[in-house]
Amino acid sequence: MRYSEVCVEAFCCTLPPHVVTSAEIESRLRPVYERLGLPEGRLELMTGIRERRFFDRGTRPGDVSAATVRKALLQANLDPGVVGALIHGSVCRDQMEPATAAGVHHAAGLPPDCLVFDVSNACLGLLNGMLIAADLIELGRIRAGVIVGTETGRDLVEGTIDRLLADPSITRKDVKREFASLTIGSGSAAVVLCDRKLSRRGCRLIGGAALADTSNNDLCAGGSLSPRQAGQRPQMQTDSEALLHAGVNLAERTWDAFQRAVEWSPADVGKVFTHQVGKAHRMLLLERLGLAPDIDFPTVEFLGNTGAVALPTAAALGLERGHVAAGDRVALLGIGSGLNCIMLGLEWP
């Protein structure tokens, strides 16, 4: 896929206020660790995640997303009236129906002729939303689009802890499948795209590639129906090792397709932003793609795995902290359970 008319005008994020360390989580799990003979420090050692952040209990994703949209449009210096599409792409939503995007659209004060809908695709929802908005801009259907999402991981992490503590039959093998749930953090992010004639920044979206390997759709699965109404917490089980290798294998194939699509080689890539689930995953991904670790901007150590907002949050923080220089070619390397992979290329002005 190639684009000639699309620019990325802003990456923006909202970080939650409450920091929870891996050591704190393991302290709560001490009875399980002692019974199974597991050493404390295992969670940070295996994942590289020192801490993650949570919103207040009961926070609705849409409320945070609306604030992030307003912040992103201010950052882009873009009139809300020109936004032709609002896409809510996180795993977490306010309810099954209507679309969370509807409430966000209203709270953000966007125009009535704006397309409003949710996109759900595990950790790739916001990148899928970017592709949809980019296609609409390239076709001339809209002048600008906002893709936003908010992940609220507190219920998953705390529910996993409570479930492990309450079940005396839990084994080491069971803990291994629940481990990925303890890496989850929270956050909110938005991306603003617009027609190049409207752009002030001039950061072009060049194009990219997308591939799927749905033979591995069962390696990470979770959720619950209407958790607020049913009083249930979300659950997730993950075969972390199998997911690591299947995901990196798919990323390697997507990387080949991406290079052909945008006509870049690894030497052309100045910076990357990756979807980050753990330190080992990130390092293996960069190694297999032939990319130096220092061109990436790691966030997983202090944010944990923030699902669909992980990559755009890394981009927002990386830009804020000067990670990208003028003239850099930037690759966005996204992957989500299912498995699906999207890689996009940007040219920084």
Which tens digits make up the pLDDT trace of 214-232? Answer: 887 876 677 653 444 445 6
Give the residue, 179 or 344, on which the prediction is more confident: 344
- Give CA separation, 316 vs 9, 69, 113, 275, 281, in Å: 11, 13, 28, 13, 21
Instruction: Name the residue among 204, 200, 210, 78 with its Cα closest to residue 134.
Output: 204
Catalytic residue among 13, 92, 123, 203: 123
Average pLDDT over the chain reads 93
Catalytic residue among 24, 34, 97, 320: 97
> What is the reported pLDDT for 165?
95
| pLDDT tens, position by position, 242-290 | 767 788 899 999 999 999 999 999 999 999 999 988 888 899 999 999 9
> What is the reported pLDDT for 224?
52
What is the C-alpha to C-alpha distance for residues 94 and 149, in angstroms, rounded to an integer? 11
- Give CA separation, 178 vs 41, 55, 105, in Å: 16, 22, 35
pTM of the model: 0.93
Of 105-119, 234-248, 290-304, 308-322, give the lowest mean pLDDT range.
234-248
Q: Using an 8 Å Cβ cutoff, are 155 and 195 in contact?
A: no
What proportion of the chain, given as a percentage, has pLDDT over 70?
Answer: 95
Architecture per CATH, domain 204-347, reads as 3-Layer(aba) Sandwich (3.40)
Q: Is 97 a catalytic residue?
A: yes
pLDDT average, residue stretch 62-66: 98
Q: What are the sequence ranges of the domains in the chain?
A: 204-347
> What is the reported pLDDT for 235?
74
Q: Is 178 a catalytic residue?
A: no
Q: Using an 8 Å Cβ cutoff, are 67 and 14 in contact?
A: yes
Two structure tokens written together for 255: 């990387």
